[in-house]
């Protein structure tokens, strides 16, 4: 009986941590749409790390609109010579979800 209680207690303590480890909707959309081919959360790949993007735009009230535009239309020169291709096929709501997730990576 005590062993069973320990198992239940351990499961109760561990399950919230497992749920938190699941990717968010924004991260899932970023992966599904190929964003991780050029970016990662913590280090520069071809494009900047998402943590660096979040740091750069921290406190910028216009960041969401700027970054949604950048994802939708593409661009270059902000993070170096590599350009970001446009993603016109993405829905604006999905882009906003991805950008919200990116901005939370500080």
3-state secondary structure of 103: helix
Helix (H, G, I), strand (E, B) or coil at 33: coil
Supply the pTM of this predicted model.
Answer: 0.79
Q: Token pair of 90, please?
A: 């993405």
Q: Which two tokens stand for residue 48?
A: 């900047």
Confidence (pLDDT) at 93: 98
Q: Per-residue pLDDT tens for 48-87?
A: 999 999 999 999 999 999 999 999 999 998 898 889 999 9
């Amino acid at each position: 009986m005590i062993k069973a209680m320990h198992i239940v207690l351990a499961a109760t303590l561990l399950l919230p941590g497992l749920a938190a480890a699941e990717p968010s909707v924004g991260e899932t959309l970023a992966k599904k749409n190929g964003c991780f081919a050029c970016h990662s959360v913590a280090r520069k790949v071809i494009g900047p790390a998402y943590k660096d993007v979040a740091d750069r735009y921290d406190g910028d009230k216009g960041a969401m609109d700027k970054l949604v535009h950048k994802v939708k239309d593409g661009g270059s020169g902000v993070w170096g010579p590599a350009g970001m291709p446009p993603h016109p096929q993405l829905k604006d709501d999905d882009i906003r979800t991805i950008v919200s997730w990116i901005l939370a990576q500080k």
